A and B are shown apart, each in its own frame.
Chain A
Amino acid sequence: GPKVLQIPSHQIIDMGQMVTLNCDPVSNHLYFYWYKQILGQQMEFLVNFYNGKVMEKSKLFKDQFSVERPDGSYFTLKIQPTALEDSAVYFCASSLTGGGYEQYFGPGTRLTVL
C-alpha cells in the first residue's frame, strides 16, 4: 500500500537545540498530520496541515513547534528550542482528503532530548 517515509528514524539532541523531523507523505495526498506518542501511552494529535496552512492544532502543539511543506517537498515538524518533555515518538500521517478517510502513517521518528 501507499507508504509514508520519515527521516530520521532516531534523533538524540541536547535540550535547547533545534530539531527538524522530516516526512515524505504519499505523493497525491493533500492533508498532512503530526502525532506524538510517549512510550506506553496513546497517540495524540498535534497538528494538521492543508493547502499550505495549519488547519487545527492541539494544546500539545506549543509555540516552539512549527510545520511547513515548502514547494511540495518534505512535510516538516520543527521544534525550537527543544525541552525534555518533547522526548517521544513522532508520527507523520497523510490522507487524500480530510476527515472520515484513511490516514496513512509513517514508521515514526524517536526523539530523545537529553
Chain B
Amino acid sequence: SQWGEENLQALSIQEGEDVTMNCSYKTYTTVVHWYRQDSGRGPALIILIRSNEREKRSGRLRATLDTSSQSSSLSITAAQCEDTAVYFCATDAGGSNAKLTFGKGTKLSVKS
C-alpha cells in the first residue's frame, strides 16, 4: 500500500516476470493517476483511470480501481529492464481546484 506511514516500498524482479503495485487512498477521488518517475526526472503519466472505470489497459500496463475499497493497482506484464523506475499513484478530487495527492511510491527494479 502506498498510503500510510510506511517508507518508499522497493520491489526487485527478474525481466519477464509480472508485477503488481497497490495503492489505497483515504480521500474522495474522481480519478487515480499512475505516474512513473525515472531518476532525476519529473513524473510522467502512464495510466489515468476514472471512478466509473474498473479496469484500464495500455500496452503491458493494467490499472484497476475499486472505489468501494478505495484502492487501485497497477500491473506490469512481462516486465523489462526499462520498466525500472519509481511508480506513484495519485488521487485527484476533480473540480476546478485541481491538485494531486501522491502516495509514497514503489521503487521497482527489473533485473536481466
Interface residues of A (CB under 8 A from B): 4, 31, 33, 35, 40-45, 48, 50, 55-56, 58, 91, 93, 95, 98-108
Contact = CB atoms under 8 A, between A and B. Distances in A.
19 contacts: A31-B98, A42-B88, A45-B99, A45-B101, A48-B97, A56-B97, A56-B99, A91-B43, A98-B97, A99-B30, A99-B95, A100-B50, A101-B48, A102-B48, A103-B33, A103-B100, A105-B43, A105-B44, A107-B41
Nearest to B101: A45
Interface residues of B, number: 30
A42 B100 CA distance: 11
B102 A99 contact: no
Interface in B1-60: 7-8, 30-31, 33, 35, 40-45, 48, 50
Interface of B: 7-8, 30-31, 33, 35, 40-45, 48, 50, 88, 90, 92-105
Contacts of B42: 4, 91, 93, 105-108
Given A100-B30, A107-B42, A43 B102 contact: yes
Contacts of B88: 42-43
Interface of B is mostly: loop
B96 A50 contact: yes
A77 to B, nearest CB: 15
